[in-house]
Amino acid sequence: MPMSEAPQMVFKKPSYPISDTLQRYLDRYKRSTEVPVHYDDLMRFTGSVTVLNQHEEDTLWVRVYYSEEERKEIDLSLKMIYSILHSDGSDAIFEDLSVDAIDYCTFGNSKPFRIKIRNVMNDNYTYFYVKRSDASRIYGLELEHLLSPYNLNFLVSNDTLIEEHIAGIPGDVFIQEYLPHCSERQRAQLAKEFVKFNERSMIRLLGDMRAYNYVVIPVHDFDSVIHKIRAIDFDQQNYEGDLKVYRPQFFPENQGMMDLIKQHLKKESVFQYKREERSSLAKRALGAEAQLRRLVESAKADVLSTSEHVKTLGKQISHFTGDPRFESAPSMGVILELALLFVIRNYRDLTAL
């Protein structure tokens, strides 16, 4: 898994609208709902202050505030969204909830709002995010839900996307501050996890998994701590034309993880873990076959990238896999379908032996 020339990416990906086909999918699988406040409503803040981290550094988030009258209405609406996302949608829990902060991110494509909700009875808190709807991001979220080891909770309301918070240590922070203190056993386990994460991202065409777009999650397992790696940014699903964009191994920001693989894994082990991840993904795909088929059929009918990117990516994957069908794929949705079928077919061939 060599590090070579960094992937070439478009600085800002355009936002793609939700098609009628995708909307029908969202309705069918209960991803669509009505919410009392939308992204544009939150944009009417009257001022902001910079949010600093524990080292007094700019986090690229600002804490926004509203007029007193408008804040009351917004707080009530955000509590309702929390209830829809995490409970039964009723107002029975409202008096136990407080909207402690509304933060706005000035960096990246989606420019989300981060909402901090606290339970006043016990001071437990959680977050959720309010973003503009984008078809690419929605496909990315749903593919993560269906094909990764993790479930994802999100809702779509017209032009607004609501996402649950994914807890963990940002990858760049982990590599810089936590990795130096990991034991040799933990480093070997992290190397294995990154191989699997890399393979999973490539197969389902999730791009831009630089270190700050995934989190590392410590998990206590008997007398040791192991780590899981989980994507948190789904903007670059099926858009870029460079195959390297979908392979985290090629991003310089992930050099710390790649060093672990070189130091702790033999080529045979890397091949084994890739095979394990492909088999796991194939099993998940077959387990959710009907739903995944509807999602892919919707993606095939949608425009999710430029014709130039489709052509370039199809040619690169055709060369990578030896399958000429990728080169003639007319859309990103078809490339996605072919990639999933390639993995499923290989899995079936191997398990039939």
**Confidence check: pLDDT of 188 > 80:** yes
For 185-292, where are the E strands, in sequence order? Answer: 214-221, 224-231
| Closest by Cα among 149, 154, 107, 106 to 129 | 154
In sequence order, the 6+-apart residues with CB closer than 8 A to the CB of 144 are 150, 152, 204, 206, 231, 234
In sequence order, the 6+-apart residues with CB closer than 8 A to the CB of 276 are 196
Alpha-carbon distance of 252 to 247, in angstroms, equals 12
**Confidence check: pLDDT of 351 > 80:** no
**Sign for the pseudo-dihedral over CA of 266, 267, 271, 277:** positive
- Calculate ∠ Cα 253-258-263, nearest 5°: 145
- Region 43-63: mean pLDDT is 92
In the chain, % of residues over pLDDT 90: 88
Backbone dihedral region for residue 108 (phi beyond 0: left; psi -120 to 50: alpha; all else: beta): left
Q: Is 22 exposed, middle or buried (0-12, 13-18, 19+ CB in 10 A)?
A: buried
User: Residues 240-293: pLDDT tens digits?
Assistant: 999 999 999 999 999 999 999 999 999 999 999 999 999 999 999 999 999 999
User: Residues 146-172: pLDDT tens digits?
Assistant: 999 999 999 999 999 999 999 999 999
Tokens at residue 112, please? 């989300």
Backbone dihedral region for residue 300 (phi beyond 0: left; psi -120 to 50: alpha; all else: beta): alpha
Element of type H or E holding 100: strand 97-105
Identify whether the C-beta of residue 147 lies closer than 8 Å to the C-beta of residue 285: yes
Give the pLDDT score at 55: 83
**Confidence check: pLDDT of 199 > 50:** yes
**Confidence check: pLDDT of 8 > 90:** no
Give the pLDDT score at 352: 58
Give the pLDDT score at 4: 58
Q: What is the mean pLDDT of the chain?
A: 94
Alpha-carbon distance of 282 to 340, in angstroms, equals 8
Give the pLDDT score at 10: 67
User: Residues 11-52: pLDDT tens digits?
Assistant: 678 999 999 999 999 999 999 999 999 999 999 999 999 999
Tokens at residue 220, please? 């206590």
Give the pLDDT band of residue 353 (cuts 50, 70, 90). Answer: very low
- Region 82-103: mean pLDDT is 94
Alpha-carbon distance of 153 to 139, in angstroms, equals 13
User: Residues 280-330: pLDDT tens digits?
Assistant: 999 999 999 999 999 999 999 999 999 999 999 999 999 999 999 999 999
C-alpha neighbours within 13 Å on the C-beta side of residue 156: 24
Alpha-carbon distance of 72 to 207, in angstroms, equals 39
Give the pLDDT score at 143: 98
**Confidence check: pLDDT of 2 > 60:** no
AA letter at 61: W
Alpha-carbon distance of 120 to 124, in angstroms, equals 8
